[in-house]
Structure 1
Amino acid sequence: MKGENYLIFIVSEKNLKVIINQSLIGFRERFLKTLRRFSEGDKAILYVKGKNILGVFKLNSTVFLDENPVFKDEIYPLRIKLKKYKKLKKKEFTDRLIKRLSFITNKKYWMGNFQGKSVIILSKKDFKLLEDYLNEK
């Protein structure tokens, strides 16, 4: 169903500029099965590894193959176009936020929840918590 998924994309800082400037995110081929579940209109938040969360985006395409080298460290041939949905804001994860997120199972070593992953499917509730947190002043 269009616009029904809520996601967090885990990205490297070195590829962040490409993602923002080209409104495009890329993945390795092993993520194809997962990426096929996503539709145009789904919402995503970016998590910059070891740093912060950044902005709310809408998926502006379904997954497609493109081997044109645009990313800094790899081809990442599976791609999805993104559209900025809300003004970009950077915020760090706080203990208060981590305690409230159900997808973070190990609250003490919370970064481990992101290791080896490029995308996490969130509940609507967790997505809303992150979105509200990004909008706080």
Structure 2
Amino acid sequence: MTYWIASTNRTNWEIVRQKNIWGIPKRNVNIHSRVKPKDHLLIFTSQQKEGDNLLPSAITASYEITQCMIDDTPLFTAPAQMGDEFFPYRFKLKPIKIFKESLEFKPLIPDLQFITNKNMWTGHLRVAMREIPEEDYSFIMQKGDS
């Protein structure tokens, strides 16, 4: 089993939550080919301004991947810099845990192995999906229970 963290915005997080589907861009075909059913996926939402509030970066949920597929049907909202990307490499998901309160990400950074540059940590999450150590996954899940 492999553990992954997926980076998204809050708009696409709502689509993931409602549809139990995650999608990545065409350029990430190499990642899609490495993902297998039974892998686990954490959802990371980036910091976002909402009105006068600044919502922090957070972990919102954990899923088990149940199926890998390709689907050209528009579903996700692409950031402006990605043009008409529709995230065709998709994964059907089964919820493991949807956090009642999103787990703020910044306080976790000192204890995460996959974040090797603690000062420039956002660079580690500028990809649609990346593999993380099982220890990091377990640590985040434990923090989500507290």
Q: Distance in 2 between matches of 1:52 and 1:113?
A: 14
Among 56, 62, 78, the residue aligned to 1:56:
62
Counterpart of 1:92 (choices 104, 122, 132) is 104
**Aligned pair partner of 2:122 in 92, 111, 114:** 111
Identity %: 25
- TM-superposed CA distance for 1:99, in Å, is 1.0
Partner of 2:50: none
Per-residue CA shift, 1:61-98, capped at 9, x if unaligned? 12x11111111234111111111012434110243x21
Aligned residue in 1 for 2:41: 44
Shift of 1:58: 0.4
Larger strand proportion, structure 1 or 2? 2
SS in 2 for 1:113: helix
Q: Is the 8 A contact 2:60 2:98 kept in 1?
A: no
TM-score between the two structures when normalised by the length of structure 2: 0.83
Select which of 70, 81, 100 maps to 2:92: 81
Q: Partners in 1 of 2:10 and 2:140 — Cα distance? A: 20
Specify every segment of 5 or more residues in structure 1 that has no aligned partner in the other structure, as ranges. none
In structure 2, C-alpha distance between the alignment counterparts of 1:34 and 1:110, rounded to whole Å: 21
| In structure 2, distance between residues paired with 1:113 and 1:7 | 12
User: What is the CA RMSD across the aligned residues, in angstroms?
Assistant: 1.3
The count of corresponding residues between Structure 1 and Structure 2 is 130
Residues 34-75 of structure 1, C-alpha deviation per residue, up to 9 Å, x if partnerless?
12111111111100022211121100112x111111112341
TM-score normalized by structure 1?
A: 0.88
For 1:72-131, what per-residue CA distance to the aligned partner results, in whole angstroms no more than 9, with x for missing partners? Answer: 234111111111012434110243x2111110011122222212x011101111111111
Q: CA deviation at 1:133?
A: 1.1
Look up the match of 1:71: 76
C-alpha distance in 1 between matches for 2:77 and 2:29: 21
